Amino acid sequence: MDRSLRAARLATFVYFILNGTVMGMWVVQIPTVEHRTGISHAVLGELLLLLAFGAFVGMRVAGPLADRFGARVMVPAGAALCSATLALPGLATGAAPLTGALFVFGLGNGVLDVSMNTHAVQVEHAYRRPILAVFHAAYSLGGVLAALAGARAISAGWTPATTLGTAAVIGAVIGLATAPLLLRRPAAPAADPVAPTTGPRGRRTSRRIWGLAALALMVMLSEGVANDWSTLHLRTVLDAAPATAALAYGAFSVAMTVGRLLTDRTAARFGAFAVLRYGAAIAAVGLTVAALSSWIPLALVGWALFGAGLSGCVPQLFSAAGHVDAQAAGANVSRVASLGYLGMLAGPAVIGWLTHLMPLTAAFFLPIACCAAAALAAGLVRPPAVTGTASDVQGQTGPADAGALPPRVSSTAD
């Protein structure tokens, strides 16, 4: 295989790990920043919504720019911007400075997120086999690294400014240094031999895509809740020490990472439907355990189950969207991904609003309900029936919904 393609795959791993680490460093520091600025849970939730808005703006800006200038330019630019702006929340001493800091940080994260996922899709097309879930596992690995590093920094008595400032410098250097390994031009996408390419399907396709987008919003809203509220849950509800509370996000991220490493092979064997249905159900059970537990070790187990269950859901939704219509795969994936990321970024703010009305643990039943709904609607990831003669579908094997994955042309391990 071309060395440049292998290098581009390695670079993609680096940027996903970098993004997960940068976001994770902020997550671990949330309780400390909240205390330093003197804001309440409810105000924090509103400010996290502003972070989500900044990310949404960054995503909308980065998409056209990536099309015009290429991921090779936008990915390192996004990495440098996201890393540099990480230092700003650590410098905030009140609600007003934190407001601007979170908006700019969200903007940088949005630019990097869209740019690196665009490059990941190009690399996956060049490999002609599904590897997207493994890149998402790299993002989760970044969260694990952030949880460990953040807990160590807290134990050592580092201030948020020192911790986030150090991470910002390291992240910006890594982001710029990795740029030469990126693809010089996008690879042409592989043709989909399963998805129908002829016949009227405008309204049917639209309904299915928006259904997948709604599922992505619910699943990624749940993931966003873990990102921003798992540490606060142990710290404020169970009165855990700051370093111990950081392990909640660590448990979630470890389970998410392991699950995503197994997702491609699991989906190939049992089908995307099974991965989404049982994964979402496990996630609902896990968060219920965490919310109801008064024992810290059991709560950590609940957060781990939550991460394991959610780990394989998003890749199945993205893959299904890309195979609804081979001629509009990019547009369909974009619709599902954008609504899903909006849910992930807005979810923490919604939980913050709910804390005006109820305890934090009671607010967790919103993502629990989202996971349950995703499990019940998992049939949407099954591809529509392919009509035609027997010769049209001859040679298709595997689970009934295996067609939701791109065709695999190599049995080589990832």
> Would you state the pLDDT for residue 322?
64
Q: Closest by alpha carbon to 383, among 361, 399, 366? A: 399
Helix (H) or strand (E) holding 191: none
pLDDT in tens, 140-171: 789 889 988 988 898 888 988 999 999 999 99
Q: Which of 14-28, 241-255, 316-330 has the highest mean pLDDT?
A: 14-28
291 pLDDT higher than 90: yes
Q: How far is CA 354 from CA 125, 297, 348, 360, 402, in A?
A: 42, 26, 10, 8, 39
Domains 1-181 and 203-384+400-405 share a fold: yes
Helix (H) or strand (E) holding 347: helix 329-354
Q: How is domain 1-181 classified at the architecture level of CATH?
A: Up-down Bundle (1.20)
* Distance from C-alpha of 237 to C-alpha of 243, rounded to nearest angstrom: 15
Q: Which of 33-42, 237-246, 364-373 has the highest mean pLDDT?
A: 364-373
| Residues 142, 256 contacting (CB under 8 angstroms) | no
For residue 34, give every residue at least 6 positions away whose Cβ sits within 8 Å of its Cβ, in sequence order, or none: 41, 44, 232
* Distance from C-alpha of 59 to C-alpha of 220, rounded to nearest angstrom: 16
Q: pLDDT confidence of 267, banded at 50, 70, 90?
A: confident
pLDDT in tens, 114-147: 788 778 877 877 787 767 788 888 887 898 899 8
Query: Residue range 53-59: average pLDDT?
Result: 83
212 pLDDT higher than 90: yes
404 pLDDT higher than 50: no
Q: Where are the alpha helices (DSSP H) in 128-241?
A: 132-155, 160-177, 202-232
| Residues 54, 103 contacting (CB under 8 angstroms) | yes
The residue ranges of DSSP E strands in 84-150, in sequence order, are none
Domain ranges of the chain: 1-181, 203-384+400-405
CATH class of residue range 203-384+400-405: mainly alpha
The packing angle between helices 272-292 and 202-232, to 10°, is 30
| Arithmetic mean of pLDDT over the chain | 82
Query: Residue range 300-321: average pLDDT?
Result: 90
pLDDT in tens, 345-360: 778 888 988 988 999 9
Please give the share of the chain, as a percent, with pLDDT higher than 70. 83
411 pLDDT higher than 50: no
* Distance from C-alpha of 13 to C-alpha of 30, rounded to nearest angstrom: 26
Neighbour tally for 246: CB within 10 Å: 30
